[in-house]
């Protein structure tokens, strides 16, 4: 079990620095727009059906057959690759959607885990001419040790600070116990990690990423959403995908504690939605230089309603939120507060819980309206720093709810979408999420390398990105 050192409540302002220093933060500016036509993975499905049944002329047969075939194709495509993997190191086929800019070319060609099918020369040219590319992720470069061996007792311990939010709530930050938040420690780049489950910093995937980030020279800080990872709950509001204001609280504190640092963000699941919502709300005013969002739900109504995807979301979130509510139910009880506590305690789905608790905390009376306001599908266009969205094939997010066009139309955002995982990947003990996390570290590290080039520092200042 991981040891966590709790620090008493602190105001959202760290102690003053011992000496005055002037810092110039690296910022990336992009100025371009490239529309992307919507791809369709089953374009020839209807034609194939008709060719197999030439004597059929009745829609009474065609429509049910098409529906059945489409459903089967979508279901089995998650478990079986369309090709035989080239080697045991192949972690599946992915589709990259990115604006054709020299910046994206620089980043993608320097990520060791991402490989293209074409030759280097062909890829070099295509990356500045086309928006869609088929790539593979090499798991051979990922630390594939079993998690129980990676996280022996005492290997990773956290220290914690609890921040007071403007509404009186509490957000906690965890980072490795042997690091000082206000000292450089040779780690001049800071990663804000936003988990997507009630386990927060204690989640195995988050711990894996903290260790990997340290190996790559980053200073990792995990933000625990309200009530998560044993964080104290002081107001009747629990962790939701809408909590972008808490991201702002965490970033403000870290930015004051480490003013010299290059600050980047990584979010998972509901945490990715929180992070992207924050980035869209603040635009270019954010202190973050870049970010990565892994398995962002985008459309909360679809994710929590569509079968079988809602089952994955329910398993990840519902039980943990109910447990937090049980411990703190006195905060939510009272006729005038409007919460339906008993219904929430019996909830088997995240929709039931949100309807009884979460939407009430935000002042909504309609669940669909709460989800619409909290989703990030239609605000991708407002993001103004480089953000990579990575959508793995974990069954949580319906493929049709991923806004591929909107992501590609924004020159600041790009998408790495998993099209299929080979069977040998499905049988391993290291999940696809682990490979997504390694790609995340590589991409952010490469962005730092790009920003360090003198010519690109000048380009950032004059709001240009079309350089090699």
Contact 413, 389 (CB under 8 A): yes
At residue 454 the predicted structure's pLDDT band, cuts being 50, 70 and 90, is: low
Tokens 């939510």 identify what position? 332
Between 36 and 129, the higher pLDDT residue: 129
SS3 assignment for the chain: CCCEECCCEECCCCCCCCCCCCCCCCCCCCCCCCCCCCCCCCCCHHHHHHHHCCCCCCHHHHHHHHHHHHHHHHHHCCCCCCCCCCCCCEEEEEEEECCCCHHHHHHHHCCCCEEECCCHHHHHHHCCCCCEEEEEEEHHHCCCCCHHHHCCCCCCCEEEEEEECCCCCEEEEEEECCCCCCCCCCCCEEEEEECCCCCHHHCHHHHHHHHHHHHCCEEEEEEECCCHHHCCCCCCCCCCCCCHHHHHHHHHHHHHHCCCCEEEEEEECHHHHHHHHHHHHHHHHCCCCEEEEECCCCCHHHHHHCCCHHHHHHHHHHHHHHHHHHHCHHHCCCHHHCCCHHHHHCCCCHHHHHHHHHHHHCCCCCHHHHHHHHCCHHHHHHCCCCEEEEECCCCCCCHHHCCHHHHHHCCCEEEEEEEECCHHHHCCCCCHHHHHHHHHHHHHHHHHHHHHCHHHHHHHHCCCCCCC
| Residue 243: inside a domain | yes
Query: What is the structure's pLDDT at 1?
Result: 46
| Residue 85: inside a domain | no
Res. 406: pLDDT tops 70 = yes
Domain count, the chain: 1
At residue 19 the predicted structure's pLDDT band, cuts being 50, 70 and 90, is: very low
Res. 189: pLDDT tops 90 = yes
Taking residues 77-102, what's their average pLDDT? 60
Taking residues 360-374, what's their average pLDDT? 97
The closest of 168, 213, 159, 212 to 191, measured between CA atoms, is 213
Res. 354: pLDDT tops 60 = yes
Res. 39: pLDDT tops 70 = no
Query: What is the structure's pLDDT at 26?
Result: 57
SS3 assignment for 206-232: HHHHHHHHHHCCEEEEEEECCCHHHCC
| Residue 198: inside a domain | yes
Pairing state between β 387-391 and 290-294: parallel
CATH of the domain at 215: 3.40.50.1820
Query: What is the structure's pLDDT at 72?
Result: 47
268-279 in b/e burial notation, b at 16+ Cβ within 10 A? bbbbbbbbbbbb
Dump pLDDT digits (tens) for 53-82. Answer: 544 444 455 444 445 444 545 444 444 433
Query: What is the structure's pLDDT at 28?
Result: 58
| Residue 122: inside a domain | no
At residue 23 the predicted structure's pLDDT band, cuts being 50, 70 and 90, is: low
End-to-end distance of the chain based on CA atoms, in angstroms?
48
Between 152 and 308, the higher pLDDT residue: 308
Dump pLDDT digits (tens) for 306-353. Answer: 999 899 999 999 999 999 999 999 999 999 999 999 999 999 999 999
| Residue 393: inside a domain | yes
Dump pLDDT digits (tens) for 266-302. Answer: 999 999 999 999 999 999 999 999 999 999 999 999 9
Taking residues 169-173, what's their average pLDDT? 97
Give the chain's radius of gyration (CA, Å): 23
Query: What is the structure's pLDDT at 195?
Result: 97
| Residue 196: inside a domain | yes
**pTM given for the model:** 0.78
Query: What is the structure's pLDDT at 124?
Result: 67
Q: State which residues form the domain around 288.
A: 4-15+23-30+141-299+375-461
Dump pLDDT digits (tens) for 224-272. Answer: 999 999 999 999 999 999 999 999 999 999 999 999 999 999 999 999 9
**From CA 389, how far away is CA 267, in angstroms rounded?**
10
Q: Is 434 left (phi over 0), alpha (psi -120 to 50) or beta?
A: alpha
198-229 in b/e burial notation, b at 16+ Cβ within 10 A? bbbbbbebbbbbbbbbbeeebbbbbbbbbbbb
| Residue 55: inside a domain | no
Query: What is the structure's pLDDT at 76?
Result: 47
| Residue 106: inside a domain | no
Residue 428: exposure state from Cβ atoms within 10 A (0-12, 13-18, ≥19): middle
The closest of 95, 97, 98, 102 to 28, measured between CA atoms, is 102
Query: What is the structure's pLDDT at 418?
Result: 84
């Amino acid at each position: 079990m991981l040891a966590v050192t709790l620090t008493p409540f602190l105001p959202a302002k760290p102690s003053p620095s011992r000496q005055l220093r002037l810092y110039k933060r690296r910022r990336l500016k992009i100025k371009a727009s490239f529309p992307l036509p919507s791809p369709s993975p089953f374009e020839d499905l209807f034609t194939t059906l008709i060719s197999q049944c030439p004597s059929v002329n009745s829609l009474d047969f065609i429509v049910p057959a098409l529906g059945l075939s489409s459903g089967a194709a979508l279901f089995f495509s998650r478990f079986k690759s369309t090709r035989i993997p080239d080697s045991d190191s192949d972690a599946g086929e992915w589709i990259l959607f990115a604006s054709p800019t020299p910046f994206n070319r620089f980043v993608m060609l320097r990520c060791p885990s991402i490989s293209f099918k074409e030759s280097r020369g062909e890829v070099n040219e295509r990356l500045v001419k086309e928006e869609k590319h088929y790539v593979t992720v090499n798991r051979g470069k990922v630390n594939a040790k079993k998690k129980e061996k990676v996280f022996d007792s005492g290997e990773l311990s956290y220290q914690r600070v609890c921040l007071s939010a403007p509404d009186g709530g509490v957000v906690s930050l965890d980072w490795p116990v042997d690091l000082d938040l206000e000292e450089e420690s040779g780690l001049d780049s800071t990663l804000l990690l936003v988990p997507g489950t009630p386990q927060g910093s204690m989640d195995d995937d988050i711990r894996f990423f903290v260790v990997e980030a340290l190996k790559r020279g980053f200073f990792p800080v995990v933000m625990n959403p309200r009530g998560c990872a044993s964080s104290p709950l002081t107001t009747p509001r629990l962790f939701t995908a809408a909590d972008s204001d808490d991201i702002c609280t965490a970033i403000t504190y870290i930015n004051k504690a480490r003013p010299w640092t290059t600050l980047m963000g990584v979010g998972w699941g509901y945490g990715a939605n929180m992070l992207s919502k924050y980035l869209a709300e603040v635009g270019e005013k954010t202190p973050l230089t870049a970010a990565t969002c892994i398995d962002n739900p985008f459309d909360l109504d679809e994710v929590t309603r569509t079968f079988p995807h809602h089952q994955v979301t329910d398993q990840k979130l519902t039980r943990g939120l109910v447990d937090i509510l049980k411990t703190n139910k006195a905060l939510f009880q009272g006729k005038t507060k409007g919460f339906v506590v008993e219904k929430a305690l019996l909830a088997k789905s995240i929709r039931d819980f949100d309807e009884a608790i979460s939407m009430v905390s935000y002042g909504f009376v309609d669940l669909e309206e709460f989800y619409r306001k909290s989703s990030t599908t239609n605000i991708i266009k407002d993001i103004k720093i480089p953000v990579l969205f990575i959508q793995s094939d974990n069954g949580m997010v319906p493929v049709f709810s991923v806004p591929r066009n909107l992501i590609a139309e924004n020159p600041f955002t790009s998408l790495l979408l998993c099209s299929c995982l080979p069977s040998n990947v499905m049988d391993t003990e290291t999940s696809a999420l682990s490979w997504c996390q390694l790609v995340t570290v590589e991409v952010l590290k490469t962005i730092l390398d790009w920003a360090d080039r003198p010519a690109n520092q000048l380009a950032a200042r004059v709001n240009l990105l079309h350089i090699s």
